[in-house]
Amino acid sequence: MKRTFADRPNWTRIIEKRFKLTYLEEKEFKGHVSIIYIDKVREPLVLEAAGKNVFLANNGFIWMQHFPKDCNYALTTMFNEKHEVIQWYFDICNGNKINSLGIPYYDDLYLDVVLLPTGEILLLDEDELEQALKDDSIDKALYDLAYFEAKTLIYNIQENKDLLPLNSKWYLQHMVSLGY
């Protein structure tokens, strides 16, 4: 399993960045929220999504991450330089944790759910999850947890029950208003 930290300390694509972190305890969300201002990149990060090349990281972009308390996913909302949402990226994980420095992290369970601004939902990396089970990198319980969490997220997104994507602009404005 790959471990991912909120501050992305080993992200070599990024030459200059600013990182901020806060904890929120609200009715709709309890957990850590982080923001990475991507000030300067070595080269843009461009990936294919739904048949189109999509810029995910470039100068002036912002990545905001939600690490919900007692949940098995972390949400990265990617914004372009105009603060328009590029995509919402849910990493399915085995819970969100905090290291000794207070930085949130998760151990990735391979499956990812992506919500595009068009409303299209993608389930990614099923092949990686299958391979991890075959290689004994994960056990059947974690395999089942990953699929359960992904299916639950997809259902909640389709039914507008997951409020994080719906409120992502508010969270970004909130983080910026805090001097981030």
pLDDT one-digit tens code per residue, 93-119: 999 999 999 999 999 999 999 999 999
* Residues contacting 45, CB < 8 A, separation 6+: 13, 55, 56, 57, 58
Q: Tell me, what's the pLDDT at 125?
A: 96
What is the CATH number that goes with domain 3-177? Answer: 2.40.380.10
Q: Tell me, what's the pLDDT at 109?
A: 97
CB atoms closer than 10 angstroms to residue 47: 11
Task: Specify the DSSP element, H or E, that contains 154.
Answer: helix 140-158
Position 180 pLDDT exceeds 70: no
Task: Specify the DSSP element, H or E, that contains 172.
Answer: helix 168-177
11-55: pLDDT as tens digits:
999 999 999 999 999 888 999 999 999 999 999 999 987 788 999
Residue 145 pLDDT class (50, 70, 90 cuts)? very high
Q: What is the mean pLDDT of residues 127-152?
A: 96
Q: Residue 60's closest CA among 27, 76, 26, 83? A: 83
pTM more than 0.85: yes
* Residues contacting 20, CB < 8 A, separation 6+: 34, 35, 175, 178, 180
61-100: pLDDT as tens digits:
999 999 999 999 999 999 999 999 999 999 999 999 999 9
